[in-house]
Structure 1
């Protein structure tokens, strides 16, 4: 009798644990539909609820309006004609230091921006656009391929503001040339704004939306100046406020929504 009482709880416990082991994985793999949509970078969870209730979301070809609906790993979720990615979208802003190249890897084993963000997240993120090795300042990294493509496309006119330090004061004539537009070998360079920010005329603030390779450096070199320092201080409305050189931070939800709205 004693043996039976001792064995019975052990037997029941093992059955209970067996049930947990078979049930647990499927539970962990499902995700609420509004979170799935938010992870895909479409909108916030609250706005995702609105999309669901209004019949904008399909799961496996069928409209789903249930707010608590659970999505399985093999389900196909669509918003309009767009298939949503279940991976959480990551948006990271880096204040790039000098001597780091903007690439995911380098065969010459030079330092890359990926070295600075390697512990930031589990997702594989990529730089949006490029900053050359000697240029410092704001760089966006993300796994949102659609956003990255839009930001890189010239037609979307993504605003960038640079602080430029020259080897000598800029002349009035050259200042006016830049305002009017300078013809380079790959076409005319038109800027959005230009201002002298130092009393000696060697430091300028330049706003531009063109994304051509080394465009700011080539602009001043064409006019006979050497760019001593080049720092991107604003990128698509994002600033370096409270972000020291070499550090990074995640964009908040408002910044992500604003970024997508701008382009």
Structure 2
């Protein structure tokens, strides 16, 4: 009895069946081979056949994917692949006829970001926006545009490259409306300067719209831009000698913070997605 209690306290398994199985495996010399097979299986589980990857992206059937691969229309990480049965990982860059494709289900998530979270997908950066949307979807979404760690408001996530390009298109872009609080009242002449545009180190700084916010002090203004980052906000007010107290993104195109508490997210409705695609 004392020996059994000693084994249990040390967390060692007891019972003849376990020991017999282990001894038989060692006697046959199967232990190293079995370990190697498990390792290989774990590696293969991260991979998918290229034709299935193409088919899952919605381009065509798997049979047609084989034909497109054979004719050199598909590339993986910048190299054309014509080998049948070639396997890729989900994180590989796969392109069909020059356009990047993705086999995952398209996801569109809107987050009302609180302060204190970095807009990055990199690990080791402390608390990030990816922590806030971790349970939103199994698809590998990423933030489109940036909000500083101490900024708050709307941040859009997707794995749809075509929609993401709408945000990064410097000519058209997607307008974002910010509510900004300054350390002092914004002078009328400075408001006019922002509205008309000005140059900083030779670069023209322009915005879509700028105005005082009704019913509050002239420290608070509304600013609409199409730039995906918010560094332009800092650039404007550093140049004009104002300190930015807070930045809050209150709208992205037609999307607003309505019914999204701070720190929460929602999936876009089909109508919201279609409207976004038409911008």
TM-score, with structure 1 as normaliser: 0.67
2:177–2:223 CA contact under 8 A, matched in 1: yes
Select the residue among 114, 117, 120 that pairs with 1:97. Answer: 114
For structure 2, the residue ranges without an aligned partner over 5 or more in a row are 1-53, 68-85, 87-95
Q: Which aligned pairs between 1:12-31 and structure 2 lie closer than 5 A?
A: none
Render the CA deviation track for 1:9-59: whole Å, top value 9, x for unaligned.
Answer: xxxxxxxxxxxxxxxxxxxxxxxxxxx99x96x9xxxxxxxxxxxxxx853
Q: Distance between the aligned counterparts of 2:201 and 2:98, measured in 1?
A: 41
2:184–2:219 CA contact under 8 A, matched in 1: yes
Q: How many residues matched?
A: 196
Select the residue among 224, 240, 246 that pairs with 1:229. Answer: 246
Structure (1 or 2) with the larger CA radius of gyration: 2
SS in 1 for 2:266: strand
2:147–2:229 CA contact under 8 A, matched in 1: no
Q: Tell me, yes or no, if structure 1 residue 246 matches structure 2 residue 268.
A: no
> What residue is the counterpart of 2:148 in the other structure?
132
Render the CA deviation track for 1:81-121: whole Å, top value 9, x for unaligned.
Answer: 968644210110001111100001243x4110011011111
SS in 1 for 2:171: helix
Moved over 2 A (4+): 79-86, 210-213
1:164–1:231 CA contact under 8 A, matched in 2: yes
Render the CA deviation track for 1:119-139: whole Å, top value 9, x for unaligned.
Answer: 111111111111111111111
2:196–2:206 CA contact under 8 A, matched in 1: yes
Q: CA deviation at 1:140?
A: 0.7
> What residue is the counterpart of 1:218 in the other structure?
235
RMSD, aligned α-carbons: 2.8
Q: CA deviation at 1:80?
A: 10
Q: Distance between the aligned counterparts of 1:82 and 1:101, measured in 2?
A: 30
SS in 2 for 1:216: helix
> What residue is the counterpart of 1:146 in the other structure?
162
Structure 1 pair 186–229 and aligned structure 2 pair: CA distance change class (3 A): farther
For structure 1, the residue ranges without an aligned partner over 5 or more in a row are 1-35, 43-56, 63-73
> What residue is the counterpart of 1:201 in the other structure?
218
Q: Distance between the aligned counterparts of 1:84 and 1:208, measured in 2?
A: 29
Q: Distance between the aligned counterparts of 1:130 and 1:186, measured in 2?
A: 24
> What residue is the counterpart of 2:199 in the other structure?
183
SS in 2 for 1:231: strand
1:167–1:227 CA contact under 8 A, matched in 2: yes
TM-score, with structure 2 as normaliser: 0.63
